[in-house]
Amino acid sequence: MTIPQAPGGQTMTTNGANANHHPTGPLSGMRVIDWTMWQFGPVSTMMLADLGAEVIKVESLDGDHGRQFGRVGGVLSDLPEGVNAYFEGMNRNKYGIALDLKNPKGREIMRKLASKSDVFVENFRKGVAERLGVGYDDLKEVNPTIIYGSASGYGPEGPDSTKPAFALTGEARSGAMWWSGPDNNTPYAVGIADQAAGIMLSYGILGAIVARERYGHGQRVDVSHLGSMIWTRGMQNGISLIQDAEFQRQDWRHAGNVLWNYYECADGEWIAFSMSQGDRYWPAMCRAMDKLEWMEDERFNSLEARYENRDLVIESMAEVFKTRPRAEWEVRLADAGDLIYEKVQRTLELRDDPQVKRNGYMIDFDHPVLGDSEWLQTPVSYSKNPVTTRKMAPAHGEDTETILIDMLGYDWEDIAELQEERVIL
């Protein structure tokens, strides 16, 4: 297949520059079969596509359920002409084919696709792929060096390996919901399990690609919500296990380090501080707050004292920050010294953030339905083989005929027969 370029015949890099001098990504020439739905699997394959891989998304005749996803954080995902923001956000740079895998002819097509590909990725419950004849052992028969990525809720082994799972179950089982949030007994959803697990799966697949280049073999790669979320909380979980003690939940009013905290300003906006070396930065903070006496106050003037009196210190600092709007505090903090702080932004504020724009973390793209719009970009920058956005997510089964003819050698009579038998759309 010929991969289309971005509008204007140019490939858009992470910083929006013309990348025609290096038109191929690190994975250019590799083919990935993406038999996944929702977010965990699609995120991982989208990242591979952003790196230049040719990714073919295989959907059922009913489509990826993500196409009908209703709301995210109270915001509607549905857009004009059947476009869905949830689906679009994790399926760009992919081609699309729709197959009925319950039909033997559909399974035959899938096996042919796998025989001509480098990577196969699925995120169905344990046993589903095997029952349909597209498990790892099945595909090894047609492609001995294939890399088979499998995404699950709980991992490939153990008593719960067949349980259904979504992002929230991974956050719950891993301990992330218990540790996060204010210091009460209410669990708190952190909303990152699918994204974290998808990143981990792409990492695992990249490792398998390197191993195949070095040793000549393919292999199965297993990644789960549970394992990924345990690892994502590595610092907290690692210390807890070593010390045999649970991390204590703390909201901003009771933070253990008053300079690793966030405070509300007079205009209702917030500033976050990230300074683990409290004694080093305390004098500059006192100057910024115009509280020089706190440098001598025995309740405030050492890391240990601030910890012992943290509720008082935080309450006192909160009162000070409520006296000025955030913009004024940013000026005072900048003038006081090399303090480590940042304004707490809302999502839509990212559009006008010069740092976000300059590094290409969001890009402009001429969407065929939405027109000129802004999209997130995989935040990895290469000096020679840039990350690119070449096309947005495929319509349901958009490239079915092209894939069957150009890649697998079917003809139009074959396609008409497959359509009549409802093997393809």
* Gap between the Cα atoms of 291 and 67, Å rounded: 55
Residues facing residue 34 across a β-bridge: 57, 121
Q: Which residues contact 120 (CB under 8 A, 6 or more apart)?
A: 32, 33, 35, 114, 134, 139, 146, 147, 148, 149
30-41 burial, b at 16+ Cβ within 10 Å, e below that, comes to bbbbbbbbbbbb
pTM for this predicted structure: 0.85
> Along the 425 residues of the chain, how does pLDDT read in single tens digits?
543 332 233 333 333 333 344 458 999 999 999 999 999 899 999 999 999 999 999 999 999 888 887 666 556 666 666 778 888 888 999 999 999 999 999 999 999 999 999 999 999 999 899 999 999 999 999 999 999 999 998 889 899 888 888 887 888 877 777 777 776 677 878 888 888 899 999 999 999 999 999 999 999 999 998 888 888 887 777 788 888 877 777 777 788 889 999 999 999 999 999 998 888 999 999 999 999 999 999 899 889 999 999 999 999 999 999 999 999 999 999 999 889 999 999 988 998 999 998 998 988 888 888 788 888 888 888 888 888 888 889 999 999 999 999 999 999 999 999 999 999 98
Q: pLDDT tens digits for 178-233?
A: 777 776 677 878 888 888 899 999 999 999 999 999 999 999 999 998 888 888 88
Instruction: Transcribe 369-399 into DSSP letters.
Output: TTEEEEEE------SSS---B---PPPTTTT
Residues facing residue 147 across a β-bridge: 119, 219
* Gap between the Cα atoms of 227 and 170, Å rounded: 8
* Gap between the Cα atoms of 99 and 296, Å rounded: 73
Q: pLDDT tens digits for 69-86?
A: 766 655 666 666 677 888
> What letter does residue 151 receive in the DSSP assignment?
E
Task: Return the pLDDT at 1.
Answer: 55
Task: Return the pLDDT at 17.
Answer: 36
Task: Return the pLDDT at 20.
Answer: 42
Using CA atoms, how far residue 112 sits from 123, 138, 218, 409, 418, in Å, is 20, 12, 17, 10, 15
What is the three-class DSSP state of 332?
helix
Task: Return the pLDDT at 5.
Answer: 33
Q: pLDDT tens digits for 22-58?
A: 458 999 999 999 999 999 899 999 999 999 999 999 9
CA 60 to chain centre: 24
Tokens, residue 331: 């000026």
Place of tokens 């390996």: 161
Task: Return the pLDDT at 11.
Answer: 36
Domains of the chain, with CATH numbers?
Answer: 7-235+359-420 (3.40.50.10540), 252-348 (3.30.1540.10)
Of residues 296, 280, 257, 270, the one with CA closest to residue 337:
280
Using CA atoms, how far residue 32 sits from 104, 118, 122, 162, in Å, is 22, 6, 11, 25
Angle, helix 193-215 to helix 40-50, in steps of 10 degrees:
50
Beta carbons of 222 and 122 less than 8 angstroms apart: no
